[in-house]
Structure 1
Amino acid sequence: MSIRFPLQSDRIRLRPFRAGDRDAVHEVYGDPEVMRYVAYGKPATAAEAAEMVAGYIRHQEEHGYAFWAVEDAATGAVIGDAGFEAREAGAEFGYTLARAWWGRGLATEAGRLCVAAAFGELGLPRLTGVVDPANPASSRVLEKLGFAFSRELEAYGRPHREYLLRAPSGEAAPDRR
């Protein structure tokens, strides 16, 4: 179970995080507006962002997948993350992009790369995603990727909506462009 990196589209690249990404990650995760719907809804300190990067690196080593750095293909700048975290219910898909990159379809683009890797090289049977109900834009991203609403639940200490996407049976992952 390994992926050949980078995962790439015309506009972005996904690759495993490196320790040197700490400052770029803090620029994204330290923005209260970016983080208001992510996980616990609070911006990260520089130390917390560094620990998240270290955790993503460990998760990649342990599981063969993690949240990966999203780079602008033109400049190589880290503009966010997209990928998966191992959960009891299966791999949980998520993404976070710096505010300057919102509204360009990049979350969906990163999601397509992730879904293709999940059901292709990784061979995962299903993906989940959780969204704060006050964030309809993220619900739309998941729906564009083929996720379907599953249930209401509590996650990260607050109400969320869970979405589910199952691997296609007996065929390659569909191209959801």
Structure 2
Amino acid sequence: MIETKRLKLRPFRAGDIAPYAAIRAKPEVVRFLPGGMALCATAREDAERIVPRFAALWEAGGYGPWAVEDRGSGTLLGHAGLRDLGRETEILYMLDSRAWGQGLATEAALAARDYGFGVLRLPGLVGYALPENAASCRVLAKIGMREEGRVHIFGLDALRFVLTPPAG
């Protein structure tokens, strides 16, 4: 578990399924994800599948997406963390729209970046965002990632961002 100024980042647990499904049922939250707003209709089933999978990633590989909680209230806000894509590690995040505009995605992404470089000693990180998702592009830029170009990934035409660890 990692705590930041305003967040608690921890492995997912079974009790997260219902609140995570409620977050994924919001069109504004899923509109830029693979599958888009159609994901709202399968939010409960998706949460039932994703929550245990995210938890299992920690057991199998020593890292994965965390459940993101508000430190003060304990409210689940979404997910953030790292995902092994085979030849590279992706930094990812998805927060409830109630948490937008407060710098929380950047705070969570910074924690994931620092964990990836400081604890896991990863050789680099990638991030992907749709060009029209300006907020996500800003988060990736704020944590030091640079845009590398457009790619087709996860069935989407996205911008690819990269970051290598600081020297020293």
TM over 0.5: yes
**Following superposition of structure 1 onto structure 2, how do residues 54-69 of structure 1 map, counting pairs within 5 Å?**
54-69=52-67
Bigger helix fraction:
2
Structure 2 CA distance for aligned equivalents of residues 62 and 11 of structure 1 = 28
1:9 match: 4
Kindly state the Cα deviation for residue 156 of structure 1 after the two structures are TM-superposed: 1.9
Contact 1:38 1:96 in 2 (8 A): no
**Following superposition of structure 1 onto structure 2, how do residues 1-177 of structure 1 map, counting pairs within 5 Å?**
5=1, 7-41=2-36, 42-43=39-40, 44-170=42-168
User: Amino acid of the residue matched to residue 93 of structure 1?
Assistant: I
1:174 match: none
TM-score (norm 1): 0.89
Kindly state the Cα deviation for residue 58 of structure 1 after the two structures are TM-superposed: 1.3
Computed over aligned residues only, the root mean square deviation of the Cα atoms, in angstroms, reads: 1.1
Structure 2 CA distance for aligned equivalents of residues 65 and 140 of structure 1 = 24
Structure 2 CA distance for aligned equivalents of residues 92 and 148 of structure 1 = 14
1:173 match: none
Cα displacement string for residues 46-105 of structure 1 (whole angstroms, at most 9, x for unaligned residues): 111110001101111111111101100001111111001101331111101101110000
- The alignment partner of 2:91 has SS state of strand
TM-score (norm 2): 0.94
Structure 2 CA distance for aligned equivalents of residues 11 and 88 of structure 1 = 32
Aligned length: 165
With 102-111 and 88-97 compared, the bigger mean Cα shift is at: 88-97
Contact 2:64 2:83 in 1 (8 A): yes
Structure 2 CA distance for aligned equivalents of residues 28 and 89 of structure 1 = 30
Structure 1 CA distance for aligned equivalents of residues 132 and 167 of structure 2 = 33
Structure 1 CA distance for aligned equivalents of residues 32 and 139 of structure 2 = 14
Cα displacement string for residues 120-170 of structure 1 (whole angstroms, at most 9, x for unaligned residues): 111111110000111011001000000001121112212101100111233
Structure 2 CA distance for aligned equivalents of residues 59 and 99 of structure 1 = 26
User: Amino acid of the residue matched to residue 105 of structure 1?
Assistant: G
User: Amino acid of the residue matched to residue 47 of structure 1?
Assistant: E
What is the percent sequence identity of the aligned residues? 36
* Runs of 5+ consecutive residues of structure 1 not aligned to the other structure: 171-177
